[in-house]
Structure 1
Amino acid sequence: MQLKTLLVDDELSAIEGLAIRLDAFAEIDIIGHATSVDEAIDIINREPPDLIFLDIEMPGKTGFDLIKQLQPERCPAIIFITAFHQHAVKAFEVRAIDYLLKPVKTERLSEALARVMENQKNPVQKHQMMEVRDELVQTEFPNKLAKAAPQYRLEQEKLVIQDGKNPVQLVPYNHIIWIDAAGDYMCVHTRDETYVMRARMKSLVKERLPDDFVRIHKSTIVNLNHIRQLEPLRNSEYFAILNNGKSLKVSRTYSRNLKARLMG
């Protein structure tokens, strides 16, 4: 079994060095590299990888900003690459998330890949990676990573996201394309930005978003106005293809209601 692998690091020399080391591993098929989060997302949308080697600190957007863009049910394996001090990465260890300290050593790389292969049937979940982010933020790196997940409230025409420290974010509902769950967090996706707020799916559903928002999966809500088409899968499941080209899984449980809403 080969793993389609994406390398993401803002330092091209680091990518080149890692690629040379990975050449010794038959299970790795490098499908591309990216020096920014936006570039990585473009590659992921074209060819979803099985594994991403992901730098955390990059100019503009961090590795965790990329994690926010990934769908929970289609999240690839992640090996973080970090220059953080050894004791800071305990946050990764306790959640069974693998990481490599810079400079990457071949022996440690081999261990990380073996761990990925062993865990293919039980991959690390998106919410675990967001918990790591919060722990790093709240301890040693408050100025290097995004601020901790904020609170929110639903108003008539917009979603208000606030954490008491940062400016209040006012997100009009018609700008929201979809929302997905990551444990105790929700990732709110617009065309230009992804916001993270501390909330659970059931509470967001209970508080009632506008009628245009429909649940399509246990972890996903979508704005009907942004669905371009449905692609049928087996067992009455679908992919909802959005206007921006993004595809979201529609589970059997919610497919009938979605079709009725789209055709009504």
Structure 2
Amino acid sequence: MKITIETPGPGEEDEIIIRMAELNDEILKTIRRLKDGASKDNMAVYADETIQMIPTREILYFDATDNHVFAYTKDNCFETRKKLFEIEELLSGSSFLRISKNAIVNLKHIDRLSPEFNGRFIASLKNGEDIIISRGYVPELKKKLGIKK
């Protein structure tokens, strides 16, 4: 694959041209990120009628409730306009991990894990909040944290 980067002339608009015989999933994800203006470093969230950019490292977890996805930080709760699967794709390969059908947690904000009945875990976050890790997601959590069975 050849990559060409050119600096536009004065008055010219920035432009990205993709010329490929076949678009694969990875390229499509990259295009989606470019269109959204999203990155792993910051995320656009909504508070009242304003849009704020917050560092993703400050987000403790995401929770989907009633067709809305919320991002929780230490002190605030913000609404996002993304679906949970979009956030999961965007933050793949980072410290974020899907822990249930409706939640993604930032592993860096977990203070301790406690096993619960039926194979679930309770994650106690550094802000004192507890969230449930569904048993179907526990193996991936253990793998990502390097915990043996």
Given the alignment of the two structures, is residue 257 of structure 1 paired with residue 140 of structure 2, yes or no? yes
Once the two structures are superposed, residues 119-143 of structure 1 have per-residue CA deviations (whole angstroms, 9 ceiling, x without a partner) of: xxxxxxxxxxxxxxxxxxxxxxxxx
The correspondence for 2:87, drawn from 204, 207, 210, is: 204
- CA deviations over 1:27-57 (Å, ceiling 9, x no partner): xxxxxxxxxxxxxxxxxxxxxxxxxxxxxxx
Describe the shift of the 1:186–1:210 C-alpha distance in structure 2 as closer, same or farther (beyond 3 A): farther
Whole-Å separation in 1 of the counterparts to 2:121 and 2:37: 31
Question: Is the 2:69–2:83 contact (alpha carbons within 8 Å) kept by the matching residues of 1?
Answer: yes
8 Å CA contact retained: 1:154, 1:209: no
Partner of 1:160: 44
| TM-score normalised over the length of structure 1 | 0.39
Aligned pair count?
112
- Asked whether the 8 Å contact 2:109–2:125 carries over to 1, the reply is yes
Query: TM-score, normalising length from structure 2?
Result: 0.66
CA contact (8 A) 1:184 1:198 kept: no
Does 1:237 pair with 2:116? no
Structure richer in helix, relative to its length: 1
Give the corresponding residue for 1:19: none
Give distance in 2, aligned partners of 1:153 and 1:213: 19
Q: What SS does structure 1 have at the residue aligned with 2:119?
A: coil
User: Which residue is 2:53 aligned to?
Assistant: 170
Gaps of 5+ in 2: 1-35
Partner SS, residue 205 of structure 1: helix
Task: Report the 3-state secondary structure (helix = DSSP H, G, I; strand = E; otherwise coil) of the residue aligned with 1:259.
Answer: helix
Tell me which residue corresponds to 1:190. 73
Aligned residues of 1:214 and 1:224 also touching (Cα < 8 A): yes
Q: Which has the higher contact order (CA 8 A, sep 6+)?
A: 2
* 1:89-138 alpha-carbon deviations (Å, 9 max, x no partner): xxxxxxxxxxxxxxxxxxxxxxxxxxxxxxxxxxxxxxxxxxxxxxxxxx
Once the two structures are TM-superposed, the CA of residue 208 in structure 1 deviates from its matched residue by 3.4
Return the offset for 1:230. 0.9
Identical columns (%): 28
**Structure 1 Cα separation of the partners of residues 123 and 76 of structure 2:** 20
Pairwise CA RMSD of aligned residues?
2.3
Q: 2: CA distance between counterparts of 1:178 and 1:153?
A: 21
How far did residue 183 of structure 1 move?
A: 3.4
